[in-house]
Homo-oligomer: A and B are copies of this chain.
Amino acid sequence: MIKEMDRSPIGVFDSGLGGLTVVRELKKLLPCEDIVYFGDTGRVPYGTRSRDTILRYAQQDMRFLLSKNVKMIIAACGTVSSILGDGVDVSVPFTGVVKPAAAAAVKATKNGKIGITGTQATISSKSYVKEIGALAPDAQLFEKACSLFVPVVENGFVGIDDPLPEIVVRRYLEPMMENGIDTLILGCTHFPILAPIISKVLGESVTLIDAGAETARYAASLLGENDMLCKDGKSGKYSYYVSDRTDDFSVVAGTFLGEDISGSVDRVDIHSL
């Protein structure tokens, strides 16, 4: 027997479109699941804002997803995950990206030296430090807020041979090379787009942890453990919502998702929720 709830969609949200990297992973792992995505493109970015403002915005975003009858909520945003923490009071299972990424980093490191990147709000929150500290108290952690990574990605400066993103990556990450890290958490769902350039700068010996991809895997196992996966064998349906839509929307969305979704996107007045 298929429970009605199993056919409900998975809800995914982000400050903007970076969270589509999580959707991309979810589609690979769970091709039968329906997904509802919300990107708060009318108020992106969150990572430079205050804790109070990020909390208020995230609560509105989750109210929207709940109105779509989701069976699970994924905060596919390093900033929101860091500010919300575990204390999220919603009626469905919830995960952010911090816990899965921290667990993956602890598993990956050999020398116990882990670098942590994220937005200013993520780094200030100490979310990854707390999570890793609980799992591996002896790990040595090196943090860096990489505030220009999001605009560099959103403006499409992501070519492996382009000196512009490389100088930006070097500016933030060169000190970590000197610290001898062997593992680096990409703690914001925009950052995986820069992974090839980061690897070029840090060298192939540093393992990059994609917080979004780890979260997709974690969410899949959580749904499995709770017997909440859809089992009717039909292909999943995808609904995308944003709070603003610009002329270059399809280009930016395509960067993150690897396909054009511009025809299947609706606009939401998030301020009123």
Query: Using a CB–CB distance below 8 Å, which chain A residues touch chain B?
Result: 41-43, 48-50, 52-53, 120, 124, 147-148, 150-152, 154-155, 157, 163-164, 167-168, 171, 243-248, 271
- Known pairs A163-B167, A164-B168, A271-B271; A50 contacts B246 (CB<8 A): yes
Protomer copies: 2
Question: In the assembled complex, which residues on chain B have CB atoms less than 8 Å from the CB atom of A151?
Answer: 147-148, 150-151
Q: Are A244 and B148 in contact (CB under 8 A)?
A: no
The docked-state distance in angstroms from the alpha carbon of A53 to that of B42 is 7
Q: Are B244 and A50 in contact (CB under 8 A)?
A: yes
Q: Are A152 and B163 in contact (CB under 8 A)?
A: no
Q: Are A124 and B247 in contact (CB under 8 A)?
A: yes
Q: Are B53 and A49 in contact (CB under 8 A)?
A: no
The docked-state distance in angstroms from the alpha carbon of A247 to that of B52 is 12
Q: Are B164 and A171 in contact (CB under 8 A)?
A: yes
- The one of B120, B157, B248 in contact with A120, judged by C-beta atoms closer than 8 angstroms, is B248
- Known pairs A42-B53, A120-B248, A271-B271; A48 contacts B154 (CB<8 A): yes
- The one of B41, B48, B152, B154 in contact with A246, judged by C-beta atoms closer than 8 angstroms, is B48
Nearest neighbor of A249 in chain B, beta-carbon distance: B50
Question: In the assembled complex, which residues on chain B have CB atoms less than 8 Å from the CB atom of A248?
Answer: 120
Question: In the assembled complex, which residues on chain B have CB atoms less than 8 Å from the CB atom of A171?
Answer: 164
Question: In the assembled complex, which residues on chain B have CB atoms less than 8 Å from the CB atom of A155?
Answer: 147-148
Question: In the assembled complex, which residues on chain B have CB atoms less than 8 Å from the CB atom of A157?
Answer: 148
- The one of B42, B48, B152, B271 in contact with A148, judged by C-beta atoms closer than 8 angstroms, is B152
A and B contact pairs by CB, cutoff 8 A, 10 listed: A42-B43, A43-B43, A48-B154, A48-B246, A49-B244, A50-B244, A50-B247, A53-B243, A120-B246, A148-B157
Shortest distance in angstroms between A63's beta carbon and chain B's nearest beta carbon? Answer: 14
The docked-state distance in angstroms from the alpha carbon of A148 to that of B124 is 24
The docked-state distance in angstroms from the alpha carbon of A168 to that of B164 is 7
Shortest distance in angstroms between A151's beta carbon and chain B's nearest beta carbon? Answer: 4
Question: In the assembled complex, which residues on chain B have CB atoms less than 8 Å from the CB atom of A164?
Answer: 167-168, 171
Question: In the assembled complex, which residues on chain B have CB atoms less than 8 Å from the CB atom of A244?
Answer: 49-50, 52-53
